[in-house]
Structures are given as structure tokens and as C-alpha cells.
Chain A
Amino acid sequence: MKGIAYFPGCSLKDTAKDFETSARAVMEALGLPLVELERWNCCGTVYSLAADDLMHQLASMRDLIRTQEMGEPEVVAACAMCYNTLKRVSLRVNADVEARDKMNAFMNKETDYEGSIEVRHLLEILRDRIGWERVSERVTQPLDGLAVAPYYGCTLVRPREAGIDDPDAPTVMRDLIEALGATAVPFPFATECCGSYQVVDRRDLVIERSDRVVRSARRAHAQVIVTSCPLCQHNLEQAQQELGGETIPVLYFTQLVAAAFGVEAGELPAAITARPAAAGETGRGN
């Protein structure tokens, strides 16, 4: 099969369509198209931390079975929360035969999961499989002078065994941004939690936390923030809508890549679309 098995997750079909559109376009352009699992279910969004809880691992394990049925050794996710949940379940059930046997027995209508599927995040694939050089080569509209704040949030880098990079000083997004010709602005809140699911019943907590992240990006003079998580995107945007101040658009990282590749990127902010095309101009102050 030409391509890589792909788990979209609910958000990418619904509230984060631009994420999927741009991800597909980018991977197509790089010669490793995303091949969606034929049948999949919500991964669960969060990993259950209770030691005896197998029930809440089922959803993700089912998606691993789908990948196995497809005959593929690995599955890639773009949504960081999906990646994190699928990854941690895979680490658990790949290693814990007893848990796996129990879950297979419970899911008696399914093929047995054999415990060998690897879960990847799209950034991992870009970094380790494609390589930054190839990414740079594919760029047709370098994003010179665009100041981008790479926001990792929690789920890309924690816990260590599931993270795709160092939890305190990750560099994968910076490397991607630079491969596109843009400038990655370091900002100290890059791995701080936006507040996540607290937005449901403690919106006040989220607005405050997300605002801190945005203010940190502002101090670093970022023109856009890129993220890999639909919930982070929502929270960071909500904080700006509610508290005002200079707006920094929050994009999915694949939209940035798509813009640089000149392929379908979904809705892009003026900071990118209204940039002066001439090389050498800083593009700041848009």
C-alpha cells in the first residue's frame, strides 16, 4: 500500500476540518498519502490512569485492531490528543499480555489484537521518515520572516514514554518551522497546559491558562501560533476572544506546511496570506 494508515479522530471530521484537509494535502505532496482506517471509533480522547481499568482502553485497542486488519504495522494520528491516547494504550496492551488477552476475550466479535501495532504522530513521520531536507525541498512559497510560536501543549511530549520529543525543551516543531523558511520564536509557555477539558465546567480556569500561553507568545512577538491539538486550538482562541488584546491566530501545524507547499491549507489568517511576497522583507507588523 502506498501511504500510511491514518487515524483521523472525531475532531478532524467536524470541528477541525482544516487540520485534515491540510494534513492530507501535505502528505500527498510528500509522496506518503494518508490512508484512513476504513472503520474507526473515537479513541477516547484521554488515557485512563486507573490501573485496573480495561474498559476505557477498549476504544483505542479497537482502532489498533482496525490497523492490524488493514495489514499495516503502524498508524499515524495528527490530533495530539488522539496520538497520546492511542500511543499509551498501545504501549500498555502491546506489553501487557494478560490485559490484552482479557480485552480480546471481551471483544469476542473482533479479530484478536496481536500486540504489534506502532502508533505515530504526524510530526514524527515528517521528522524521522520524510526528513526536514525533503520537506524544505517541497516548499514553493517559503514563509520568510513569519514569526511562528510552536505550541506543543501536553499531549505531544508527556509522558516521556509516549512523547515524540523532550518534555521540557522539545525542538521538533521549531525544526519544521525553520524547514519552511519561517522563524520559530521560542516562548517559555510552549509546553504549558491550556486547561484542556476543564473548559466544559471550569471555563474560567481555561481562559486564564490559555491567556497565559497567548501572552507569552505575544511577548515573543509571534505572528501565528501553531498547534497539533483541536482542544488547544479552541482554548487558545477562546481566551483571545474573551479577553481581547492583539490577536494571534492559532493554526494547525499542517496548515503552515500546506501554505509553504502551496497546497490546500484550509482557512489561513492574513498574517500568512497577506504577506509581502518579496524575499528580504520581514513581514512583521501585518
Chain B
Amino acid sequence: MEDNKSVQLFIMGKAYQVPAGLTIMDAMEYAGYRFVRGAGCRSGFCGACATVYRKAGEYRLEFALACQEMVEDGMYLTQLPFTPAPRSEYALETLDPRENVLLQYYPEVARCVSCNTCTKSCPQDIEVMDYIQAALRGDVAKTAELSFDCIQCGLCTMRCPADIKHYHVAQLARRLYGRYQSPVPEHLTDRLEEIAAGTFDGEIEEMMAMSLDDLKRRYAKRTIEEGSE
């Protein structure tokens, strides 16, 4: 039952009346649930609060992060606080990115039937099937690029009929990419050399010797953008 102030939710099958305008997570806490698992950053970044639900009158299973999704009347939900998916053991520095390392450590990727269930399960709108297909081909860079927004919530992995552990494959790809393929940030290398050479030692010593008031004044007068003064 919905009035403009409250909605009815079914949490693990039990009915609750909660105020409208809350996220699923807030609504669950309003209903009296205390999270010891399945809650983390509460900001849509950590992937802890994976939630599956159905809406009243609809057959489709839907997927969300509890901390981001707003409640709707008739929502029928539960959390999936953990997906069993042990990671393969590897030592990044020993891997040869020219081989299909992704397939070697996660050969079940070869079972992908392109059903797209993973993509449909992703609360981050990632093209999961596409990155698994890139992994099958050994395209580390593409796998890394497409999976960038992954927060490892586990929903894709839980639903996959081929038993693939998508987010582990993606993480290995991003690690390989970062270590072996992404361009070296030269400006960073240069800066590190400057620091090691002691270029900034004098300035740092000067500031360490300043009083708190002097530091505050100095900070307030800092140049944020060239020409902004």
C-alpha cells in the first residue's frame, strides 16, 4: 500500500511499511535491520550492498546497490552480501602479458555463451559480457578499459550460467594493464627524480619552521590557478 508518505516493502519475504524517499539501505535500517555485513561506504563505491529484488506485478529480477537505490512500493528484496568466488593465485611480476594470461588463470571464461546475463545484472552499467569476450580474446587493454567502473559487488558472478568470476578476471586485466601496458606517466617520474634530488627540500624545511598562523596565511594566499589573482 502506498500513500504519498510511505511505501510497503518486503524484506526477505516479510512486509514493512517504510517512509517514501529512502534508499533500500536506509529503509532496511528503518525497519529495524542492523547491518553487520552488506554495508560499507554507503556511497556506491565499495560494492558491499548488492541487492536483488522484484517489483510488484513484474516478473523480472532487478539488481541494485542498496545504498543507491530508492525504495518503491511493492519491492520484494533481499541482499547478497557475499558471492563465493575465490581468486586465482598469481604473482603479477611473473606474468607475461603477451600470452592469454586471463584465460590461463580463469579458463572458465571459455564457457561464456554471450547470454548477457552479467551485463543485465550490473548496477554500474558496465558492459560485462563485452569485457569477458575481450578477455577470451586475450585483449587485456580492452578488458581493463571496459571494466573500469567495477566495484566487485558480485552480482554478475552470482548469476552467470557459465560460472565465470567476472570481477576477478577484470581485476587481473587491470593489474596487467597497469603494470605492463599503460603508458608510463613521465611527469610523475620526473617529479620523483626532482624530489630525490632534493629540489624541494629547502621549501619543505622553510614551511616546517613556520608558525601555524604563518602557515594559514600562506595557505590562504596560495595561487589556485595561474592568473587568478
Contacts and interface: CB of A to CB of B under 8 A. Distances in A.
Interface of A: 10, 13-14, 39-42, 44, 55-56, 58-59, 62, 106-107, 109-110
Closest 6 CB pairs of A and B: A59-B114, A41-B114, A41-B133, A10-B137, A14-B138, A13-B137
Interface in B131-152: 133, 136-139
Contacts of B113: 44, 55-56, 58-59
Interface stretch (B14-22, B23-31, B115-123, B167-175): B115-123
Contacts of A56: 113
Contacts of A58: 113-116
A55 B136 contact: no
Nearest to B161: A55
Nearest to B120: A109
A62 B116 CA distance: 10
Contacts of B137: 10, 13-14, 42
A41 B137 CA distance: 10
B119 A109 contact: yes
Contacts of B119: 109
A42 B116 contact: no
Nearest to A40: B133
Contacts of A40: 133
A107 B138 contact: no
B69 interface: no
B130 A42 contact: no
Mostly helix, strand, loop or mixed at chain A's interface? Answer: loop
B139 A13 contact: yes
18 contacts: A10-B137, A13-B138, A13-B139, A14-B100, A14-B138, A39-B130, A41-B112, A41-B129, A41-B130, A42-B112, A42-B136, A42-B137, A44-B114, A55-B115, A55-B161, A58-B115, A109-B116, A110-B116
Secondary structure at the B interface, as helix, strand, loop or mixed, is loop
A21 B144 CA distance: 25
A255 to B, nearest CB: 21
Contacts of A10: 136-137
Nearest to A9: B137
Contacts of A62: 114
A107 B116 contact: yes
A55 B137 CA distance: 21
A109 B113 CA distance: 16
A55 B129 CA distance: 15
Nearest to A60: B114
Interface in B95-134: 100, 112-116, 119-120, 129-130, 133
A42 B100 contact: no
Contacts of B120: 109
A125 B133 CA distance: 28
Nearest to B112: A42
Interface string B194-220: 000000000000000000000000000
Nearest to B60: A108
Most buried by A among B100, B129, B137: B137
A106 B59 CA distance: 13
A249 B120 CA distance: 46
B155 to A, nearest CB: 16
Most buried by A among B100, B130, B133, B161: B133
B29 to A, nearest CB: 33
Contacts of B129: 41
A104 B112 CA distance: 19
A42 B138 contact: no
